[in-house]
Every structure is written in C-alpha cells, then in structure tokens.
Amino acid sequence: MTAETESEARLISVLDTAVDGILVIDDRANILVYNSACERLFGFTPEEAIGQNVGMIMPSAYARSHDRYVETYKATGERKIIGIGREVHARHKDGTEFPVELSVGEARTPQGRQFIGIIRDLRPRKEQEERVRQLQADLVHMARVSAIDEMGAALAHELNQPLTAVMLYLQAGERTLRKGRDARSDEMLSQVMNKAVHEAERAGSIISRMRQFVEKREPNRRRVDLNAIVDEAVDLTLLGIRDKVSVLRRFKSDLPAAFIEPVQIQQIVVNLLRNAVEAVRERPEPVVEIETRAVDGMLQVCVSDNGPGIPPQAMPDLFRAFATSKRSGMGLGLSISRTIAQSHGGELSVDPGGNGRGAKFTLTLQAVTSEDA
Ligand code: ADP
C-alpha cells in the first residue's frame, strides 16, 4: 500500500503499530491489507500475501471450509464467525500451525463487501496456562508425598507387622523340618507356608497402595466408582493412624459413576480424614464418619467428626494456604483439596460445627453425564 492521502498514511501507521495481526479480505477472500504484525505472525511478506487467497495462512482443512463459509454467508447471510470471534488455528509460511484468537468484522465499501480480521497469537497465553497447570500438578503431587511422609512412622509399623509374621512362620517351618518329616509335618509346613505367603502379600499390597498414591503421573480423568475410590483412601489413611478411632463408612449403594482423577480425589479424602482423626484425638470416644451420597444429580463425600469443630476466628482463612493450628502442619491440605475439587467442577465446603458438634466437610463432585459417557 502506498499512502496517497494524509488519512491513508495515518491508517497505515496505525495498522503497522498494532501488536495484533490485521487483515482485510474482499468477498472472494483475497487479501487486500496485511499489516506488519501479520508478517511477523505468518512469515509471508506483504508482497507475497496481498492479492492471494487468505487460505494461504490457514491449515488446509480450514482453508477448504473457509471458501465455503464465505459462499454460504454471501448466499444466505449465515454467520459462522463474523462479529463473534473465536479460537482457530493459523498456519505459518514454514507450515507450523498455531492457535490464534480471530475476530472478524464486515465493511460495505464502494468496492463491495470486505472482511476485517484481527488475529492474536495465543501461543504465549497457552504456554503460560501450561506452566501454571504443570506447577499446580507438581504442588498437588508434592502434597501427596508430604502426606505419606507424615504418615511414615505409622506406615513403617504397619509394614513391620506382616514382615515379623513372615519371619515367625518361616522359623516355625524350619523347626518343623528339623524335627524330621512325616505326613503331619508336611501338612503343617504347607499351612505355615500359606500363611507366610499371605502375610508377604499383605506387605506387598501396603507398599503398592503407597506407591500408587505418591506416583507422579499425568492426571487422567476417567469414569470410576466413587465408593471404591473412597474406600481405598480410607484404608490407606487407616494404615497411617495408630490412635483408637472408630471410623464409620456409610456408603450409598448404586451411586452414579464419577468422572474424576482417582488419586487426586483420594488425596482430598486422605486429607479430610487425617484432619478429622487429629481433631478427635482428645475425645473419650472418638468417632469419624465418612459418607457418600447422591444429591440433586451431584455426588457427595462427607467427612464428619465428634471433635471440637472449627473456631469462628479460624474460618476466614481455613482454605487459605499456610493456615494451620498444628505445630507440624503446613496448612496446605485444605487449600489444595479445594483447588482439586474446583478443577473437577466441584466444591469443598465446611460446616464448622462447634458447641459440642464437630466439623463436617462436604466434597461435591459431578456425576457422569450422558455427554461424558
Ligand atoms: P494442616 O493439616 O497442615 O494444618 P489443612 O489445610 O489440612 O492443613 O488444615 C488447616 C487447619 O484447619 C488445621 O490446622 C485445623 O486447625 C483446621 N481443621 C481442619 N480440619 C478440621 C476438623 N475436622 N476439625 C477441626 N479443625 C480442623
């Protein structure tokens, strides 16, 4: 474009100052205006681009539909994008495809209908989002590792039991062998071996449960039975608890399936349960109850206890990171749990109790909809 008038010169400088790509095409989709930002985005010089079909900066599948959109719009007035704006893919001269935000406007000029496209590169935003997602996943994972770390002593004790039992069974077997073999001793040996195998399996299953919990994996949401997931989480937590606490499980049968990342939801349950057990520690008859149910098409997991409840002054910061009343606590559990719940399209709420009532936490999750299925 060469500036013939002052207003044209001004327009060209505006176009070339814009950070976003700005394109104007005619009603046959040929490029009329192509600013400097377009050159940076797409790699074509204005000389290469102007006069060409706009399909040259689109992935080929889009380019084909684009000609059709323009034809349909001209014939019927049906708008696919004009005045709306949306995320689409664009193509660089070197063939790289990348996401852009495209908004399209229309102008009626003496030369006919023209379309103006404003194009924003979405790669920096996507990279930023990916970094935040990765950091969040790392934090969530770190909190799981730290929970297992805190349960360490109790877990070691729990592991020691089956290992001690295996040793005792093996010693008994060895003594039997030394006494000489007959049909009775063979029968006894076989029983002792079976018991030893069973105990070794128990130790193995404790280790594998812990390993699954701390393993670092890409989050993968899937359709699961919530009761089974919660049940496993309760078992894992109980491994790490040596206090005498009655833990009651009230699971609603025939719940609709949940669409979740199982380990992350287990992480919430482990955290709520460990807090509840901690809260009832001083009670003469400590009770923690865990319930699953379906309410208004949503799934709920409630963890309640008969502890002192949450003092009103602790409520405003309860779900904030680093809010803790414990000497060894990091105060991350509830904040991370709520983040996980919300990233699942759910919520974590609390009834603080008090005045003789313990706290009750409710995790709400979406059930699988026919669309997810
Ligand atoms: P942490 O367990 O490391 O302190 P959390 O975020 O899990 O971190 O918990 C924050 C605080 O919330 C706890 O320190 C405790 O004061 C309070 N809290 C959590 N659950 C309960 C409960 N069931 N009863 C009473 N207080 C609770």
Sketch the domain layout of the chain as residue ranges: 3-121, 131-366
Q: Interior CA angle at 301 toward 271 and 332, to 5°?
A: 25
Please give the Cα distance from 184 to 266 (Å, whole number): 47
Angle at which helices 226-239 and 262-279 pack, to 10 degrees? 50
Task: Write the residue with the smallest CA distance to atom 22 of ligand 1.
Answer: 276
Per-residue pLDDT at 372:
56
Same fold, 3-121 and 131-366: no
334 CA to centre of ligand 1 in angstroms: 7
Contact in structure between 160 and 239 (CB atoms under 8 Å): no
Any idea which fold 3-121 has? Beta-Lactamase (3.30.450)
Per-residue pLDDT at 228:
96
In the chain (373 residues long), the average pLDDT of successive 10-residue segments reads 76 90 93 95 96 93 78 76 81 95 91 92 93 87 86 85 94 90 88 95 90 85 94 90 89 94 94 95 94 94 97 94 80 91 95 94 89 57
| Per-residue buried b or exposed e for 46-80, using 16+ beta carbons within 10 Å of the residue's own CB | eeebeeeebbebbeeebbeebeebbeebeeeeeee
Nearest Cα to Cα of residue 267 among 323, 343, 368: 343
Contact in structure between 100 and 122 (CB atoms under 8 Å): yes
Half-sphere exposure for 181 (CA within 13 Å, toward CB) = 7
206 CA to centre of ligand 1 in angstroms: 26
Residues contacting ligand 1 via CB (< 6 Å): 271, 275-276, 279, 305, 307, 310, 314, 318, 323-326, 329-335, 359
22 CA to centre of ligand 1 in angstroms: 53
Prediction pTM value: 0.74
Per-residue pLDDT at 65:
79
Per-residue pLDDT at 97:
95
Per-residue pLDDT at 71:
78
Map tokens 């949306």 to a residue. 86
Q: What kind and span of H or E run contains 290?
A: strand 287-295
Nearest Cα to Cα of residue 164 among 192, 200, 189: 200
Any idea which fold 131-366 has? Heat Shock Protein 90 (3.30.565)
